[in-house]
Amino acid sequence: MDEIDRNIINILQTGFPICDRPYQQVAVALGLTEEALIERLRALLDNSTLTRFGPLYHAELMGGALTLAAVKAPPECFVEVTDLINALPEVAHNYARNHTLNMWFVIATETPEQIEQTINAIEQQTGLPVYNMPKINEYFVGLKLEA
């Protein structure tokens, strides 16, 4: 990663313009061409310096819903349970934890009612109870990691 890549990462953490040519607008601020910026972003994603580049949406403000959920997956069928849960399009991501509830995942849906439907589907497919942990309060943490 060179100084230009570091500048790209640092600038894009503060926001991305909403306009007809957002890459061009950012490129100009960086002293690059639009094509060069896009190529560098692709390279940063391809070499796993960045794992994701894209918008974050506030699901509730758009009429949707999300929740954190967990199951206690028996170790002997952990992979099978993971595959069943990850196959659902409503499951945003899934990860193992060193806890009694050893598999945690985020459910994101277009409507609040679909959260319960998704939980019911997981319980039916896996035979495991799903522990729903909806957020009570939301806090914004302005995290910026200087590259």
Cα→Cα distances 96→21, 102, 105, 115, Å: 40, 6, 9, 21
Q: What is the pLDDT of residues 88-119, one digit of tens each?
A: 999 988 889 999 999 999 999 999 999 999 99
CA 94/CA 123 separation, integer angstroms: 16
Q: How many domains does the chain have?
A: 2
Q: What is the pLDDT of residues 35-81, one digit of tens each?
A: 999 999 999 999 999 988 887 777 788 888 999 999 999 999 999 99
Q: What is the CATH number of the domain that holds 105?
A: 3.30.70.3460
Asked if residue 107 lies in contact with residue 143, where contact means CB atoms within 8 angstroms, the answer is: no
Which phi-psi region, left, alpha or beta, contains residue 127 (left: φ > 0; alpha: ψ -120 to 50)? left
Q: Which amino acid is at 17?
A: P
What's residue 64's pLDDT?
86
Nearest to 60, CA basis, from 100, 105, 115, 130 = 115
| 41 lies in the same domain as 19 | yes
In this prediction, residue 21 has a pLDDT band, given cuts at 50, 70 and 90, of very high
| 80 lies in the same domain as 37 | no
146 within some domain: no
